[in-house]
Structure 1
């Protein structure tokens, strides 16, 4: 079933009404407008409200979905805005034409769709097709080791020939790595696409000793405020398991994605554990500090974004929505010191009404291992796979990998020759996964692997997951790798530094927590944020939130222990522009958006405008932004919000910041699969010149 590429249409006229009609319901106005644009009656009337009309900044907003024959039409939506007179002033939609006869019937059922999705995503896993319930067009199946029970929804899918066919959206959410997938399966049982709704953040690690920030007692909001009317706490509380309406924070060092032992009861509402930064984060009272800090930050972010427009009807994260619209029962499940990894964090965002999950990890020190060659010692980092080294380590003669290609020593293919038995094999980083290199060395008889970095950056902890790899591995810098290769045939030792260097805890780094929460904001308010360009914007926008919150042009300095933070450059005077954002690595390609956000913060503050107004402008712009956006779509969404809410006096500040980095008038990104081409512009409108 070749599906149609449903591109979004944006209907706006600079804040002016799209047409004169203003009587009748909001849904009726949207239907009438769609019909006036040449869409037939069947298409126009298939649009239904997803929730109630809500107002922000004096503008009414309505979210809609398309249904045909009682089935939701996959990946279609409409976002409408109405002025104070009730007239339609903005519509972002990708409504599909409805063919005569409705969708073509499916030849497979929900259980078949679940099998197909599980087989495609997890080849070594079998699907448990025991049905456990149903609601409307959605069937739930046995949990079977997943974080949440898999569901399968029957949907109508627009096809490339202008028709529609019945298909299935299969939702699976893994326990160990927090991967939340929505997989589209055709009515014939073929997997069409899988959309990952978890934002995985990897960071280049340049850490040093932890910064010591004095702790201080800060009062919660009490009750009666708009964002958290019943305060932050709800139910019984413990030092390592804190529950509330906006977040549930708990310790999860045991890799089971469930709260560890809750610690001691806290009956007075005061979480007063004191950090000891001279000890490891997982010792003493430090785990209590992690949970209370993570709970505090999640609530601060919730309340701040609520004031900016990310409220109940916009899809925010709350257990009780207090009758304000949207779906409740979805506070953030915030897992402190998660045992599933290191040097990372992630945030999985299901649809409104189901808990998102934030996983916060510990971060390794910059140097955890050594390579000893004679009297010389070389800094190294370890790996998440293979044998764990101790202070004695492993000794062997050095050998350089030869994979038979004649040009590389990356160990990505079977190693040639029989000279590796019992040796420490040096291989270059790049071209394949670390576990592939290690497995090839292991099969050749090597006792351990030393990976030489392939650029000028510092070594970092090598990731990967392959339980069949049993040899240890370390990484050294590119320069040290060259030195060690020249020592081929000499005896060397790879070992752990003892005592183990102090790790850092991302739970006390507000940059990291703001960044992760930002993924939930964009997925809920904009829609799909996957793909090379939208994924990059998701990373950049998440950085922008931390930049605004802390008024600092760098992100994650504490966690990585480096003044530059986790990005390649500081955001002040950022040296790259829009046209450079085509590397395919979403963190790198989102940096220009972070730079635009920093420029906006500086411009607003220079104009005497509080940063809360900027945050409101950015969040409000998401109401006008299509799913899977480009940089220019994000810009136009902000401008549309300013047009419709009377804030257009700030429009030139927005134009200037975007144009500064190549997203001016006429700038355009084209996305074809994984390839992105960008035509940039530094031109601003004549009115802003």
Structure 2
């Protein structure tokens, strides 16, 4: 046990020991390995010191010997440099190239290797030391060398805890340094499971049976899926499919799009959304990857009905999966998080209720020429149905009209965020109309690519001229709808067209003032008017009352600007709202164009 020599006689040695982490609690890095059945294991790696000695190098204790032995020289140098006894150092391996000779050393205690305490020494061709690295430790306590549990029991523990199988590689008995300054005696067992893409070296405490350290042998490629889909900026399939590489945003989807919160997936299902075609008896058929790893490349044939070929069905599911996931990530960045009642199976301990990803039934056969989004309270799955549209030959697929899918997805956020997740607070006719307008506004938001604002039509691919009476426009001749138009409107989508056009004007005003940010979809900190617009839209949802009216929804926008931007956009907002009748005093569907003093 006395493998460290006295440090009192060497101030220099004491300095070296201080820099290499000899302390009651070791310095280093603790890695959380997520393996087998989503189990998290903390693995500690002591901090390494590293010294270099320029081109000429320095001598070592055996420099005077006429014959050079890499093993002897390396062991001697480590022993001297760290002022430790010879039995604490074990040569592991070494080799030489055309320039340098490398030696690799393990620390050992009582003849047993310390797995994560290592050193490396490099010698030049003149046999002088040119570099030295070390992560040796001085443990505060060392357990008995005699295991309390057998290798057989350790293997069973590792298999059970990691949900894999022992691969037959010979086990070893080693110490492993822990973050608290102690070392543990461990049976070292290799566990594999191809279904989990797992091959690890597990250190099972030989006294407690706990897994105290893992070595992950996998160099896991980051989940970088590739989709053949319609980029979010495109409105529909007529603008053409593109190859979209790795669109998932880990800031919003930390386990990516192809993990359902428990296991990895290689189809159109994950933590945020599952897209499928409904079969007999309610069976759900997702689209698998066309090739590994996570390549979803299906060629849609526009000359045939959407459900006529397998590739067409796959293309629809893939596109809906891409769009809904992308919107999840955008909404998350702007505030629709777990605590704000978003849609995720796993909430990562961040609040809210989980087990409620969005389920999307593509090419649903229970209707035609429509789409729906059902928003139950937080903790229950959001549910979207997208039908085929039979107004043309061949038929057209709602899942390939991006603004329709975005529109439906947005119903989920507006219903969840108004009223704090109950999904009970957009139930009156006027508030339902607001819901339709918000959904149109977000769909429009996704498709702008610069600061030039033109008229915008909702879903022109599925219906000639789109689904609204007028194109959204800043020109009151092109779109004459205003707040007082609600007097004659009794259907929520037509009421929604009023709010959608008001928000079109608000968007145009904010972009005119602040310009356009090309990265607003991935960076909510940008300063463009489009960024400001989406922040205010989402912030206002949480502020407004249950079943809001148009004036109340407008008031929430004004307050949201005061909260986030200190009222910097107050006059811009009031002028835009007032231009369509929602000025100061507007009420009971009577217009007002009045704005605050100073505006």
Provide the TM-score with structure 1 as the length reference.
Answer: 0.46
Match of 1:329 in 2: 355
Q: Is the 8 A contact 2:288 2:296 kept in 1?
A: no
Q: Is the 8 A contact 1:343 1:364 kept in 2?
A: yes
Gaps of at least 5 residues in structure 2 are 1-235, 420-424, 449-454, 516-527
Q: What aligned pairs does 1:69-468 form with structure 2 within 5 A after superposition?
A: 212-221=238-247, 225-234=250-259, 235=263, 237=265, 242-252=268-278, 254=279, 257-260=282-285, 267-284=292-309, 285-366=311-392
Change (3 A) 1:566 1:668: same
Q: Is the 8 A contact 1:237 1:267 kept in 2?
A: no
In structure 2, which of residues 532, 545, 554 is the aligned counterpart of residue 626 of structure 1?
A: 545
Given the alignment of the two structures, is residue 603 of structure 1 paired with residue 509 of structure 2, yes or no? yes
Q: Return the alpha-carbon distance in structure 2 between the equivalents of residues 256 and 533 of structure 1.
A: 38
In structure 2, which of residues 480, 493, 497 is the aligned counterpart of residue 575 of structure 1?
A: 480
Change (3 A) 1:514 1:222: closer
Q: Is the 8 A contact 1:578 1:680 kept in 2?
A: yes
Aligned-residue offset at 1:262? 5.6
- Secondary structure of 2:471's counterpart equals coil
Aligned-residue offset at 1:211? 6.0
Match of 1:594 in 2: 500
- Secondary structure of 2:542's counterpart equals helix
Q: Return the alpha-carbon distance in structure 2 between the equivalents of residues 264 and 215 of structure 1.
A: 17
Alpha-carbon deviations, 1:626-662, whole Å to 9, x = none? Answer: 0100111111111112212234111222111211111
Q: Is the 8 A contact 1:290 1:336 kept in 2?
A: yes
Aligned-residue offset at 1:242? 1.2
Aligned-residue offset at 1:214? 2.0
Match of 2:433 in 1: 536
Match of 2:597 in 1: 686
Change (3 A) 1:222 1:306: closer
Q: Is the 8 A contact 2:316 2:397 kept in 1?
A: yes
Given the alignment of the two structures, is residue 554 of structure 1 paired with residue 457 of structure 2, yes or no? yes
Alpha-carbon deviations, 1:423-464, whole Å to 9, x = none? Answer: xxxxxxxxxxxxxxxxxxxxxxxxxxxxxxxxxxxxxxxxxx
Match of 2:413 in 1: 521
Alpha-carbon deviations, 1:27-66, whole Å to 9, x = none? Answer: xxxxxxxxxxxxxxxxxxxxxxxxxxxxxxxxxxxxxxxx
Q: Return the alpha-carbon distance in structure 1 between the equivalents of residues 540 and 282 of structure 2.
A: 34
Match of 2:47 in 1: none
Q: Is the 8 A contact 2:307 2:313 kept in 1?
A: yes
Change (3 A) 1:637 1:656: same
Match of 2:97 in 1: none
Aligned-residue offset at 1:508? 1.2
- Secondary structure of 2:537's counterpart equals helix
Q: Return the alpha-carbon distance in structure 1 between the equivalents of residues 596 and 281 of structure 2.
A: 54
Gaps of at least 5 residues in structure 1 are 1-209, 367-500, 670-677
Given the alignment of the two structures, is residue 613 of structure 1 paired with residue 532 of structure 2, yes or no? yes
What is the number of equivalent residue pairs in this alignment?
Answer: 331
**Bigger radius of gyration:** 2
Aligned-residue offset at 1:612? 2.0
Q: Is the 8 A contact 1:233 1:243 kept in 2?
A: yes
Aligned-residue offset at 1:335? 0.9
| Alignment RMSD | 1.9
Alpha-carbon deviations, 1:312-342, whole Å to 9, x = none? Answer: 1111111111222111111100111111111
In structure 2, which of residues 369, 377, 397 is the aligned counterpart of residue 505 of structure 1?
A: 397
Q: Return the alpha-carbon distance in structure 2 between the equivalents of residues 222 and 332 of structure 1.
A: 16
Alpha-carbon deviations, 1:149-197, whole Å to 9, x = none? Answer: xxxxxxxxxxxxxxxxxxxxxxxxxxxxxxxxxxxxxxxxxxxxxxxxx
Higher RCO, Cα 8 Å, sep 6+? 1
Q: Return the alpha-carbon distance in structure 1 between the equivalents of residues 247 and 471 of structure 2.
A: 34
Q: Return the alpha-carbon distance in structure 2 between the equivalents of residues 684 and 352 of structure 1.
A: 38
- Secondary structure of 1:568's counterpart equals coil
Q: Is the 8 A contact 2:276 2:286 kept in 1?
A: no
Q: What aligned pairs does 1:666-685 form with structure 2 within 5 A after superposition?
A: 666-669=585-588, 678-685=589-596
Change (3 A) 1:261 1:666: closer
Q: Is the 8 A contact 2:362 2:386 kept in 1?
A: yes
Q: Return the alpha-carbon distance in structure 1 between the equivalents of residues 247 and 346 of structure 2.
A: 17
- Secondary structure of 1:231's counterpart equals coil
Q: Is the 8 A contact 2:440 2:458 kept in 1?
A: yes
Aligned-residue offset at 1:289? 0.2
Change (3 A) 1:278 1:237: farther
Q: Is the 8 A contact 2:481 2:501 kept in 1?
A: no
